[in-house]
Amino acid sequence: MIPVAFEYTRPSTVEDAVAVLAADPDAKVLAGGQSLLPVLRLRLAAPSTLVDLRDVESLHGVRVADGELVIGAMTTHAEILHDRRVAEHAPLIAAATATVGDRQVRHLGTFGGSLSHADPAGDLPAVALALSATMVAVGPGGRREIPAADFFVDYLTTALAPDEILAEVRVPDTAGWGYRYEKFSRMAQAWAVVAVAALVRRADGGVADTRVALTSMASRPVRATAVEQALTGTDGDSGAITAAAGHADEGTEPPDDVNGAADYRAHLARVLTRRALTAAAGA
Amino acid sequence: MTRISVSVDGTEAVDEIEPRTLLVQYLREQRGRTGTPVGCDTSNCGACTVLVDGRAVKSCALLAVQADGAEVTTIQGLANGELHPMQKAFHEHHALQCGYCTPGMIMAAVDLVGEVADPSEQQVREGLEGNLCRCTGYQNIVAAVRDAAAEMRGAS
């Protein structure tokens, strides 16, 4: 279907983009458009104006600053897959990004767009949560930092105000951590029925730190804190992993829909968590 | 209306368009590139795949205004006097039945081989996951892409 008519603007600074959003509550941001365009075509949204961020140079690219990886919101999935800094400092992001959409979608879709869209079945929100990333938003009042744990509020809903733009994402260095993004989908290019983002840091033969976040187990990505607590401090062998993974669905509210019943998703969460931790812990 | 300037299959064009115009509509209706079909209309099937600045994208999931300043290559811009090696390989391996997915399949395959010069069968299958074919079962498509890759790197 053809989208409802809208105005189009392509500012070259974040400030100009924010000004358009602040002046018009029905204006929407266009990043890579790989989620927005299908929504527009189905006429599920009818924004008055699209603010295309393509020409805002400061939103593009990856850098390392103060020991953290900083990913510009407009950096595409394909760019992330080819970036050596991402591979070195946050390989979990690269592993999950390789499973996003398909090749064509990854050429246009952006890291920041995926996070801002906040689909609970999207791959990158759970990854950002597991990594304890910090979202840097820009609005009329300037910049503010939002921890990933506070950023994802509900289904397709983030802590961003309507006149705020996600500018960049700061990611703590996890070089040396074991990692795995374990995703279960029914067919190629399909959304995850359930997926698990796992990080394990070993020290002195044991598990010093564990992070597990779940995709599509609630209306937003959730941390599996019971799993994390159960594994951390153990020797990380297969028995400890199996025991910890049994807690994966605790406190979750998995969707019950055509892609999977709630109890099936709970089962998947436990199985995929065991697999993800086995890979991440090198067990 | 918004003015865009695009190179389509090597021809420079300047057009006034509505911002809501999808790239595939623009290509077909204003640039006459009807070799690029509209398939699923939901950005799943990949039939409308074209190259924008050398990268495969689904032209139904991109506004024409987003391609402003870009170089667009459709299936009609691929042949250079003779068939592109990918087109030739699809022909020789009979990598199609109804042919509807073929323009997108070929453009996606050209993009894939540009990045992975000698793709394994698995890499071809994963690289083309964004392109659906409902006739062939993909066997001959995979064979064609690997054969074209060999010719494109001069190893045949």
CATH of the domain at A165: 3.30.465.10
Select from A1, A34, A50 the Cβ nearest to the Cβ of B61.
A34
What residues of chain A score a pLDDT lower than 50?
none
Domain-located, residue A258: yes
Summarize the confidence of residues B45-56 as an average pLDDT: 98
Quick one: tokens of B92?
Answer: 């020789």
Q: Is B103 on the interface with A (CB under 8 A)?
A: no
- Domains B2-76 and B85-152 belong to one CATH topology: no
Please indicate, yes or no, whether residues A104 and A190 belong to a single structural domain of this protein.
no
Q: How does the average pLDDT of chain A come out, rounded?
A: 97
Query: pLDDT category, B43, cuts 50, 70, 90?
Result: confident
Q: Are strands A27-30 and A142-147 parallel, antiparallel or unpaired?
A: unpaired
Q: Do B65 and A8 touch (CB under 8 A)?
A: yes
Q: Which of A118, A139, A172 is the last residue of a domain?
A: A172
Residue type, A142: G
Predicted local confidence at residue A283, as pLDDT: 63
Predicted local confidence at residue B10, as pLDDT: 97
Give chain A's domain count.
Answer: 3
Q: Which of A123, A141, A172 is the last residue of a domain?
A: A172
Q: Are strands B2-8 and B71-73 parallel, antiparallel or unpaired?
A: parallel
Predicted local confidence at residue B156, as pLDDT: 47
Q: Which of A154, A172, A190 is the last residue of a domain?
A: A172
Q: Are B95 and B86 in contact (CB under 8 A)?
A: no
> H helices then E strands: how many in chain B?
5, 5
Please indicate, yes or no, whether residues A72 and A164 belong to a single structural domain of this protein.
yes
Please indicate, yes or no, whether residues A16 and A88 belong to a single structural domain of this protein.
no
CA–CA dist A151, A158 (Å, integer): 5
What is the ipTM for the molecules in this complex? 0.96
Please indicate, yes or no, whether residues A144 and A214 belong to a single structural domain of this protein.
no
* CATH code at position A230: 3.30.390.50
Q: Are A93 and A114 in contact (CB under 8 A)?
A: no
Quick one: tokens of B103?
Answer: 């323009």
Fold assignment, B2-76: Ubiquitin-like (UB roll) (3.10.20)
Domain-located, residue A1: no
Domain-located, residue A86: yes
What residue numbers bound the domain in which A28 lies? 7-52
Closest-CA distance, A105 to chain B, in angstroms, reads 7
Domain ranges within chain B, ordered by starting residue: 2-76, 85-152
Q: Class assignment of domain B85-152?
A: mainly alpha
